Amino acid sequence: MNEARSDSLVAIDGSHLKPARWQRTLFEALLDTRRKQGGEFEIIDGADGIPLSFDKLVLASLIIGRVLARRTAQGERVGVLLPNVSGVAVTFFALAAFGRVPAMLNFSSGIRSLTAAVVTAELKVIVTARAFVTKANLQEAVDDLAEHCQIVYLEDLRKSLSRIDKLRGFIDSKRARRLHLKRRIRPDDIAVMLFTSGSEGVPKGVALTHANLLSNCEQFITMLELTGTDRIFNALPVFHSFGLTTGLLAPMVIGMRTYLYPTPLHYRQIPPLVRSSGATILTGTDTFAAGWGKAADPDDFKGLRLVFLGAEKVKDATRRIWRERFGLEIYEGYGATEAAPVIAANTQLDHRDGSVGKLMPGLEVALETVPGLDHGGRLHVRGPNVMAGYMRHDTPGTLEPPADGWHDTGDIVTIDDDGFVFIRGRAKRFAKIGGEMVSLAAVEAYCSEIWPDNAHAVTAVAHPRKGEMLVLVTDRPEAERQELIDWAKNHGISELTLPKTIFSVEALPVLGTGKLDYAAIGEMAAAK
């Protein structure tokens, strides 16, 4: 960590955590919860209408896993190109059971990013499903990927299963723990490969261990007081760390039933399904929650007790929708793929609007001084949930561990006297104008104050005299700069921090994770 101020180093007490709960593998954790809850307990349900009990999940994982193991080596990364259906849970745990590493591919990212992920992780095999490829219109992309690696379709794999395969899987399910231990898979082995969103560049591979993932589950389960009596509705794709950890792995650790839905973009379909599924917890991002809130009937969310959002800043307009229409508070959290992912969270007992809550127990935190900024600093974190390392496109297959265990989040934050964390912006999302550092996130917040019902993105482009110039891209059809100027004067905001140019679009480009695609937005602004 570079030049971190010694007086900004904070250790968050984690003495009440139980390290033994993460000193195991993901498949061991699945077996432990099966033993506690009972094999007949239905742990996964979803829109595909194929509910899975613990026994069915373990059995299917062992049958499919053994077939995939014949084509791959222990420790090998295997691509997974599947939506939120029961098949993705089976495939994930099938690979985990046999010591293979699921590399969760973002099917919404386009062929360029998919190909980059294949190269970065040195994938030789990708598991997908014909029905999904057809429905998602991905055949052209899959054909391109087939030039780099073998494509295995689950439908073909299931048809190839012999009676002996099924019988052996049944026998193995009765001695699953003993067989798993023989494979000598360790908690500190890599368990999954995820990929950064690529919102500001080429995606990187993020290697997370079994202990990384399970420790993060332990951290926020303890902090949020989640129990097996809850039910969670998860429409966030499991190629996203938030969707994977909070929507699949943590429920499995707790013994909480999960309802998987294949896309968060079905704004009208999701609210009634939340009601019929009996969900008490809903996770998502601000973009998706705003859409669900506008489309839902008041009774659709009456069974919810916790709405937990992350991945992007929660807007005041979204909070108002949920408070006024459904009588529900939104609890905002913050994380990074590299931290498996949760770093901080608001809870029902301890929350503050505008913040992302308090830091997870067991973390060490340091704020690095940023020249030009008087308050806050660049956030670095270290703890049991911080990744094993990156894999980069220019050095495929090579693990690059974080220096001395510290991860530089790239986020500028302040932490108040009560321990609440406030995100001030991305280090990369600061512009230097007239010698002053200007937070692009802060400027976006100003725009949201004026036009709360619209989406806004601010980017910086080169300026011949001032170095950089701010450009606002918005879905508001008639956004006038004079409105910004008038608001700024009334609130004591310097006109220097306001966008010089505004242009409107029908919709801002969004990544599959729900985050704005700032790379595409920057290209749009530069082209104007």
Tokens standing for 5?
């101020």
Q: Is the peptide bond before 341 cis (omega within 30 degrees of 0)?
A: yes
Q: List domains and CATH numbers for the chain.
A: 25-186 (3.40.50.12780), 434-527 (3.30.300.30)
- The phi, psi pair for 43, rounded to 5°, reads -95, -30
Quickly state the pLDDT bin for 1 (edges 50, 70, 90).
Answer: low
pLDDT band at 3 (very low <50, low <70, confident <90, very high): very low
pLDDT of residue 504: 87
With 50 as the cut, is the pLDDT of residue 367 above it?
yes
Average pLDDT, the chain: 88
pLDDT at 248: 95
- φ, ψ of residue 187 in degrees (nearest 5): -55, -30
Judge whether residue 518 has pLDDT over 70.
Answer: yes
Among 13-17, 55-59, 258-262, which stretch is predicted with the lowest mean pLDDT?
13-17
pLDDT value at 427 more than 80 = no
Closest CA to 515 of 241, 138, 135, 317: 241
Round to whole Å and give the CA distance between 251 and 248.
6
State residue 458's pLDDT score: 87
The pLDDT value recorded for residue 465 is: 59
CA distances from 105 to 142, 205, 219, 509 (A): 12, 10, 26, 19
pLDDT tens column, 471-491: 889 898 888 888 888 888 887
d(CA 318, CA 354): 12
CA 93 to chain centre: 19
- The CA distance from 319 to 324, in Å, is 8
The mean pLDDT of 108-124, rounded to a whole number, is: 90
* Ramachandran angles phi, psi of 269, nearest 5°: -75, -35
DSSP 8-state symbol, 129: -
Number of continuous H segments (helices) and E segments (strands) in the chain = 18, 27
Contact in structure between 370 and 377 (CB atoms under 8 Å): yes
Check pLDDT > 90 for residue 58.
Answer: yes
Q: In angstroms, rounded to a whole number, what is the distance separating the alpha carbons of residues 114 and 62?
A: 28
- Predicted local distance difference test score (pLDDT) of residue 39: 94
- Predicted local confidence at residue 98, as pLDDT: 96
DSSP three-state, residue 178: helix
Q: In whole angstroms, give the CA distance from residue 328 to residue 307.
A: 8
The helix (H) or strand (E) run that includes residue 134 is: helix 130-135
Does 317 score more than 50 pLDDT?
yes
b/e sequence 117-140, b meaning 16+ C-beta within 10 Å: bbbbbebbbbbbbeebbeebebee
Q: Is the pLDDT of residue 438 over 50?
A: yes
- What confidence tens digit (pLDDT) does each residue in 219-238 have? 988 888 788 889 999 999 99
Give the tens place of pLDDT for each residue, 305-315: 999 998 888 88
The pLDDT assigned to 103 comes to: 98
Q: For the residues 94-118, what does the mean pLDDT come to?
A: 92
> 164 or 7, which is more confident?
164
Strands lying side by side in the sheet with 125-128: 150-153, 125-128, 77-80, 101-104, 190-195, 205-209, 389-392, 395-400
pLDDT beyond 70 at 164: yes
Per-residue confidence band for 359, with pLDDT thresholds at 50, 70 and 90 = very high
Sign of CA dihedral 292, 297, 299, 300: negative
Task: Give pLDDT tens digits for 373-409.
Answer: 667 788 999 999 999 999 998 899 899 999 999 999 9
- Answer whether residue 19 shows pLDDT above 90: no
Q: What is the mean pLDDT of residues 44-59?
A: 92
Q: Which helix (H) or strand (E) holds 474?
A: strand 467-474
Amino acid 105: pLDDT: 96
Distance in angstroms (rounded) separating the CA atoms of residues 26 and 40: 20
Instruction: Find tokens 């026994």 and name the residue.
Output: 55
In this prediction, residues 199-218 reach a mean pLDDT of: 87
